[in-house]
Amino acid sequence: MSIAHGVRKLGVIGAGQMGLGIAFVSAVHAKVPVLIHDKSAAQIKSGLSLMDKLLAKDVSKGKITQEAAKEARDRVAVVDDMKQFRDVDMVVEAVSENLALKQGIFRSLSADLSPKTILATNTSSISITKIAASTIPEGKTASDPEGQASTSRVVGLHFFNPVPVMKLVELIAAVQTSKETLERARAFAIACGKGM
């Protein structure tokens, strides 16, 4: 079966309120396996505890069955290194609003992951174009084919807070973002139960 968004596995960077919320809607609504990474073990523990509470709340309200909650929770796994995202189809970064931090993450993702992997940021205030530029391979320029290919897969996918409740996602193209990347990101957001 073909999935319009093509995301068979998702990576999420950041297990805070936003990252955890993105992992939650991806596992519950889009029903895709999610790998989540955070440098803080305490943040991972807190985030997964919140996910368990959200799932229990949805079961108690009759929104999902206990079996569906267990299946969703089983779709979420913790990884201790972003290099473990090698087989994901999309990564959503949800770390602090710090350009240098985000650029470092996107530089690493671009070097380590498949050129077909969509690199999304949940930022609400930082230029997607600046983040995309950080993915250009060393020694290449934005006009080189490698530079164009790398930057074309970067997109802004801003989920609104709290993610499990808010129905909107802001889809933001960088100057370099390809139409295919935009369409796949849009289809994924819709699969997560979100509108634009």
Please, are residues 93 and 102 in contact by the beta-carbon 8 Å criterion? Answer: yes
Catalytic, out of 5, 29, 37, 158 = 158
- 158 tagged catalytic: yes
Largest CA-CA distance found in the chain, in angstroms, rounded: 55
Catalytic residues: 158
